[in-house]
Chains A and B, each alone.
Chain A
Amino acid sequence: MTATSQDALKSILLASPPGQFDIILDDLRSLLPKSSASLLEKNAVATIRSEWETSTGRSGLANAADGTADDSGDGCIASLSTAMENYLNLKFSSKWGAHAAHTITATTTADGAPAYTIATYAERIDLHNHHAGSWKGTYTICPSTGDLSGNISVCAHTFENGGNVQLHSEVSPKSANVGTCAPSDDDEKRSSWAKSVARQIERWEEVEVVQNLSEMFESMGNTYLKSLRRVMPITRTKMEWNVMSHRMLQTLGKGHDKEKFKH
C-alpha cells in the first residue's frame, strides 16, 4: 500500500454523505488487506473525521455545548447567540427530527476590522428509511460596518432499493447591510441588531435556497427530466419495434427508387 492508497481512502471518507461516515469507514475496513489495516487506525481516522466534520459543518454540533466565543465584554456575541438560538429552534425544530446547532467566533475582515463568523448546522438522519440531509450556513458579520455575507450548503440523500439520488445546493447570497453595533450600545440595541442579523439570514435561506429549490422541483418532471428523456415519444404512442415499418418510412421519405421498379 502506498501514499496513493492513503489518499484514496481519505478521499472516499471525506465524500461521506450526512450521517454515514462510520458506515463507509466500516466498508473500507472490510476491504483493506490485513497488512494495510494500519491505514485506518484510530488516530488516522480521527484526523480524517475531524476534517470531514469541519468541511460539512458538522463540527458545529459537537461544539454546541461551548458554542460561543469568549464575549470579551462587548455583549454582541451573546446577543447574536440568543438570536440564532431562537431562529434555529423555530426553523430546525427537533419536532421535525432535525438536530441543529450554531457557533459564533470572533474574527476579522480582510481589511482587519473586527467581525464575527456565525456557523450553523442542521442534520436529519434517518438511515432506517434510507435518507439523510444536512443544512450548513456560514455567515460573517462586521458590526462596525453592518455588512453581512454568507454561504449556504444543502445536501439531501436518498438511497433506497438500488438507488442513490443526491441533491447538492451551494448558494452565496449577495451581501446585505443589517446596521451597526458598537461596544457602547445598550442591551436593547444589541438585541435588536442581533435580531436583524437573524432576520436577514432567514430571508436568504427562504428566498435564495428554499424558494429556489421549490421552483426547481416544480419544473423537474416537465422541464429538466423531460429534456433528458420524454415520458412518451412525440407520436404519443409506444415504439413500433418491427424494423420493416421503419425502413418503409425511410424509403418513402427518400422517394421512389425508379431503378428498382423499372419495367
Chain B
Amino acid sequence: VTTAPATRKGSKIQIDCHCLPRASILSLLHPPFGICRPTALPGIAPATMSSSATTIKSCLDILRRTDPRDIEKHLGDLTKVISNDDVVDELYQRVDVPLKVGEDSDADGRKFLLCEHNRDGDSHRSPWSNAYFPPLDDGFRPSQRLRSLELHANEVFDVYRGLYYGKSTSVSSVYLWDKDDAADAATNTAGFAGCFLIQNRVDDGNYWNSIHVIDAGKIVNGMCKYQLTTTILLSITPETMPSNNISGSLVRHNVRECKVTTSDTADADGNSDHIINIGKFIEDVESEMRSELDMLYIQKTKMVVEELRKDGPGEVTQGQEHTRVLNEAVLAMAMNRKCTT
C-alpha cells in the first residue's frame, strides 16, 4: 500500500482533459475521495494556470516520460520534492499506479482491490462485506441507496471479469460514493460517482490494470450523462524472452448520454439501467483502448526500433525509405483520429 496521506474529505478537485475542447473544464466533484484524470490541456500558457496547476502539469509530464514500471517509485520521488501538501494529495488522486490486492476475511477470504477510492486512513473497505481492513469503525461508507447498487455492480462486474480476463488470475472491485449534497442524495435521480477496477496478473510479473472512474450525472428527462475516465496500466515480459519488457499506461476520457428508464437504484430484480449503461460503456472503452495499445502504441515502439537500426544488408533503398515514411504517416493519422473522436 502506498504511503499516501489520510483521507481528503470534502476536497475539491479540478479536472482537465486533453480530449475536450480547450475551454471546457469538467465540473468539480465533491466526493470524500477525489477523482481527477488526465493531463492538463496542452498549450495552456503557465501564466494562465495557478502555481498548483503548473506543478501538477509538470509532474504528470514527468510521469508520462519515465518508465511506466517505476511509476510508483517516481510518484514517491515527486512527492518528496513538492512542498505543498494539497498538491501532493491531488497528485496521489490523479496518478494511477498498479493496484494491490487485499483479502476480506469477513467474506471467506474473497479478494478485493486497494485504491485511493476505498481508502480511509490506512484501511481499505471491501466491497463484499463493506468492512474496513484493518478494522475502522467510522470509516466512510456509501449511503444505503448506493450500497445496494454497489453490490449489484460488483456482482455483474465479476462476471465481466471472468469473460475477458480469466477467473483464476484476475480480481475486480467496484466502489461507489455519493457526490451531491444530502438533499439531492435522498432522491432517486441524484448523481453519483464510482470506480470500476480490474487487475489481471499472469506468468509471474505480467500485469494488466484497468481503472475506470465514472461520474454519473443527475437523471434529467429520463437521460443521464456519464463521464468515464479510464486508465490502463500494463507490463509484459515474455517468459521465453525475459530480457525484453514492454510496459505502458494509457488514459482516455469519454462522455456518453444514456436513457435511464427505471429508478436509478436497482429494482426488486436487481436490475439497474445505471449498471447496464456503465457496464456497456466500460466494455466498449476498454476494448477500444486494448486495440489502440496493440495496433498503435506497441506497433509504434516496433517502428522506433526498426527505424533506429536497419535490418538486413546493404544501403537503404528508395523503396525502404518510402515504406518508412508511409508507416510513420499512417500511424500519425491513426493517432490524430483517436484524439479527435
Contacts and interface: CB of A to CB of B under 8 A. Distances in A.
Contacts of A61: none
B70 A157 contact: no
A120 to B, nearest CB: 10
Q: Which of A32, A122, A157 has the most CB of B within 10 A?
A: A157
B14 interface: no
A189 interface: no
B301 A30 contact: no
A156 B301 CA distance: 6
A16 B68 CA distance: 12
B241 A220 contact: no
Contact of B243 (A36, A133, A169): A169
Interface in A186-233: 205-206, 210, 212-213, 215-217, 219-221, 224-225, 227-231, 233
Contacts of B73: 11
B83 interface: yes
Nearest to B233: A164
Interface stretch (A66-74, A102-110, A243-251): A243-251
Interface stretch (B3-11, B121-129, B309-317): B309-317
B308 interface: yes
Given A31-B58, A98-B308, 11 more contacts: A11-B73, A90-B315, A122-B309, A135-B309, A157-B301, A158-B300, A171-B243, A216-B246, A217-B302, A238-B280, A243-B155
A167 B241 contact: no
Contacts of B164: 229-230, 233, 239
A161 B335 contact: yes
A114 to B, nearest CB: 30
B200 A228 contact: yes
B309 to A, nearest CB: 5
B83 A244 contact: no
Interface residues of B, number: 95
A228 B207 contact: yes
Contacts of A168: 67, 244-245, 247
Q: Which of A36, A131, A164 has the most CB of B within 10 A?
A: A164
B64 interface: yes
B77 A12 contact: yes
B213 to A, nearest CB: 14
B228 to A, nearest CB: 14
A140 to B, nearest CB: 19
A24 interface: yes
B54 interface: yes
B36 to A, nearest CB: 14
